Amino acid sequence: LGIFFALGWAPCALSMVMPVLIWLASQDVAPLVGGTMLFFFGIGHGVPIIPITTFSRMVGGRIGEKYVSVGEWTSKIFGLLVILVGLVYAARYFGYLLW
């Protein structure tokens, strides 16, 4: 989930970081001061993201356990359906028309 969120967030983040970089490049500031400004900008940019990702990880674990238990039955049901479809095709191949 974090990788997909980062891919979606990257264009938004770039549009906020580029004006800051241009502003810092156009000012007469020391590299240490510019780096400190970017550091605090990054912290402020990431503060809302940290609780969201923490919460989604907690909820995702609970949902994942339910998907695993349902997935076992789903795999068996679809496996039987594949076998049945294969038997129907085999019956039609040998001349038994079932419908």
User: What is the pLDDT tens value at each position of the chain, 99 positions in all?
Assistant: 666 666 666 667 777 777 877 888 888 888 898 888 888 888 887 788 778 777 776 676 777 777 777 888 888 999 999 999 999 999 999 988 877
- Tokens describing residue 37: 């400004």
Instruction: Please give the model's pTM, rounded to 2 decimal places.
Output: 0.41
